[in-house]
Structure 1
Amino acid sequence: MTDDVARRVSLRAAREDDLPTLFEIQLDDTAQHQAAFTDATARDRDAYLEKFRRILADDTIVAKVVEIEGDVVGSVAVFPIEGDTEVTYWIRKDWWGRGVATAALAALLADVTERPLHARVVQDNLGSVRVLERNGFVRVGSEESFAPARGATVTELVLVLSD
C-alpha cells in the first residue's frame, strides 16, 4: 500500500443517497465472482436498495462508505451473524491492488473496537485474503459453502481478529 493512497482513504456513515452508487459498484461481474456470496439482490436494483435501506436502519450494523477525495469507491461494514460479528468490504474495481481495501478496513477496525471479529473469504480471492491478513486477521479454519455468484461449492476461509 502506498502512503499516498492510505492518507486519501476516508470513511463516513453510509446514507440512503449512497445506495445507487454502491449498487453500481457491485454490479461488476469480476467483483461478484471474487465476492462469490452475493445474493439475488445483486442484479435487482430495487431489491438491492430495499435490502440496504434495512441495513442502514439496523443499529447492530456499522455501515460505512469508503471515499477518496469525496468520491465513493466502496463500502465497509461490521454486522452480526449467527452469534459472531463479521466484517465485509467492497471496493470499486478500478481501485483494486492500490491499498484502498487495506486502508479502509484498518480505518473501520480503529472505529469498531469489538473483538473478536470474523471474516470469510473464498480461498482463491488472494487479494481479499491479503487485506484481512494485513489487518491482523488469522486463518482459523475453512469450510465448503455454495457460492451463488459462482453457482458452485467453494472453499471458504474463516479468519478471526482477536485483539
Structure 2
Amino acid sequence: MTDEATRRSRLRRMREDDLPVLFEIQRDATAQRQAAFTDATAGDRDAYLSKFRRILADDAIVSRVVEVDGEVVGSVAAFPIEGDTEVTYWIRRDWWGRGVATEALAALLQEVPTRPLQARVAEDNHGSRRVLERNGFVRVGSEESFATARDATITELILELPA
C-alpha cells in the first residue's frame, strides 16, 4: 500500500535552480552511508553544481526531480554507462518508507523505454533493494566495490529490469 504522499508526488525535468536543494538533500550523512556509493562531489558544493550542470547538458541522461506537493524531495535518473543504461534515485531521508522512491522510479520507467535497465545497490541497503524489486528488477549478480561513503569495500548487488 502506498502512502498518501505518493498520490501527491510527481516527476518533472530537473533544472539548474534545483541543484542547490538537491545538493543539500544528498549531504545527509545517514543517507550517504546507506547509499554507500557517493563521489568526491558529495561534500563540495561547487564540484557538485559543476557535475550536475554537465549532467543537465547531456541529452543521453534523463534527470528528473521528485516533488511532493510542489516541494523537491529528491531525484531519479537513467544514464548510459559502459554500454548499459542504469537507474539511480535519491530521496530525502524524512520521506523514506512512504513509497515515494518506488513511485518515482515507476514513473521514470514509464518515461524511459530502454530495456534491459541496470541498477546497483549496497547489499545491506534493504529499502533501496525493495524499491527496485517492486519495480520488476531482479538480481543478476554482485561484485565487491569500494564504497566511498563507508571508506570500505562492500558487496554491491547488480539488478536488472529485463526486456
For the aligned pair, the TM-score class normalised by the smaller chain equals over 0.9
Other-structure match for 1:59: 59
- Percent identity over the alignment? 77
Is 2:74–2:90's contact at 8 Å kept on the other side of the alignment? yes
**Offset from partner CA, 1:75-101 (integer Å, 9 cap, x none):** 000001111100000000000001000
* Map 1:116-131 → 2, pairs under 5 A: 116-131=116-131
Other-structure match for 1:50: 50
Pairwise CA distance, 1:140: 0.4
Is 2:3–2:98's contact at 8 Å kept on the other side of the alignment? no
Is 2:102–2:134's contact at 8 Å kept on the other side of the alignment? yes
Secondary structure in structure 1 of the residue aligned to 2:149:
coil
| 2: CA distance, partners of 1:103 / 1:53 | 26
* Map 1:1-163 → 2, pairs under 5 A: 1-2=1-2, 4-163=4-163
RMSD over aligned CA atoms reads 0.8
5+ residue gaps, structure 2, are none
| 1: CA distance, partners of 2:150 / 2:72 | 27
TM-score scaled to structure 1, two decimals?
0.98
Paired residues, what number? 163
| 2: CA distance, partners of 1:141 / 1:12 | 32
Secondary structure in structure 2 of the residue aligned to 1:32:
helix
1:134 counterpart letter in structure 2:
R
| 1: CA distance, partners of 2:58 / 2:72 | 22
**Offset from partner CA, 1:82-127 (integer Å, 9 cap, x none):** 1110000000000000100000000000111110100000000000
Is 2:60–2:79's contact at 8 Å kept on the other side of the alignment? yes
Pairwise CA distance, 1:3: 5.3
TM-score scaled to structure 2, two decimals?
0.98
| 2: CA distance, partners of 1:9 / 1:139 | 28
2:50 counterpart letter in structure 1:
E
Pairwise CA distance, 1:6: 2.4
